Structure 1
Amino acid sequence: MVTDALEESEEIIAKIVAHLAKAGVRQTDLSTIILGYENNPASTQLFINALRWLKDEGIFRQHALNATRGGTQHETVATNCVLTSLGFALLAEPFRGELSLGSAVKNTVESGSGYSNTGSFFGGILGGFTKSISS
């Protein structure tokens, strides 16, 4: 179903951004295992697609994407990832009232819930930035 695919995409995008935000400007590795997913073909494909989309949007940088190599379970690993200035700017965007997107992501990480809501907002912000950049 389209809604399921959209929700899955929003969730993994929020998890990726949350992991990168927690690292600040320190480069960090990403994998499905690190993000809390099982190491299977469906999760791996979703992970790769989300990384490519975020990278194409200019939200983060990565050194390499090593398919089925490295990691604790020989999973696909994106190495030396870090948010860009655009990624950090997105974290400063208002979310709900006084709360910034960065604070919402942090709260989500700490509580372990609500990725979908953060992902919905994050997707909307990305759309707005993409529109403003292209015009």
Structure 2
Amino acid sequence: MSTIEYHYETMGRILSHLVNAGLSRVDFEPSDAMDIMTHRIGDEEDVVNAFADVLHWMKDEGLIRVRSVQEFDGGYAFNGVQLSSKGIAAIQAKPTDPELGESIEKKVGEKGELDISVYTKIGSFVGGLIGGATQALSG
């Protein structure tokens, strides 16, 4: 698995967690990275850093709102995280991959644990949506 695929998987798992939380604000601590990332590459520090990097990217791209970010020895804490309107649009968009079903929101709502490949496809799909929107705006 490449680094970008791992980051797509991380984004897919974060989005899944946020879909299940609805519009409730969620706090992410380093220990949450270890709980959410059941498939891990590297040691705990690597997992926590990848998780934080993906959350920073999602925030910068407008997929999520974050009330505050605290940096401390051993990681980051993201407080008051919730999907933005752009994030909601992304999880409600119709994927082209039949494995993702009607929408990410509906796929995440299904019973049972999703495969690693599904989380990766979720992240890739959302990353592509954001990239496509950026390309359309600059074109």
Q: TM-score with structure 2 length normalisation?
A: 0.77
Asked if the contact 2:14–2:36 (Cα under 8 Å) also holds between the matched residues in 1, the reply is yes
| Structure 2 Cα separation of the partners of residues 104 and 126 of structure 1 | 20
Where does residue 103 of structure 2 map in the other structure? 100
Match of 2:50 in 1: 46
Amino acid at match of 1:127: G
Tell me which residue corresponds to 1:116.
120
Whether contact under 8 Å (2:49, 2:75) holds in the other structure is: no
The ranges of structure 1 where at least 4 consecutive aligned residues each deviate by more than 4 angstroms after the TM superposition are none
Q: Unpaired segments of 5 or more residues in structure 2?
A: none
AA aligned to 1:19 is H
For CA contacts below 8 A with separation 6 or more, give which structure has more relative contact order: 2
Question: Could you report, residue by residue, the CA deviation over 1:40-86 in whole angstroms, capped at 9, with x for unpaired residues?
Answer: 211121111101110010000112223358xxxx7633111000011
Instruction: Map residues 69-80 of structure 1 onto 2, 5 A cutoff.
Output: 76-80=76-80
User: RMSD of the TM alignment (CA)?
Assistant: 2.5
Q: What's 2:18 paired with?
A: 20
Q: CA deviation at 1:117?
A: 2.0
* Partner residue in 2 for 1:8: 6
- Using the alignment, how far apart are the partners of 2:87 and 2:53 within structure 1? 18
Report the more deviating stretch, 24-33 or 36-45.
36-45
Which range is displaced more, 118-127 or 16-25? 118-127
Across the two proteins, how many residue pairs are aligned to each other?
A: 128
Identical aligned pairs, as a percentage?
A: 25
TM-score (norm 1): 0.79
Displacement of 1:122 in angstroms is 1.9
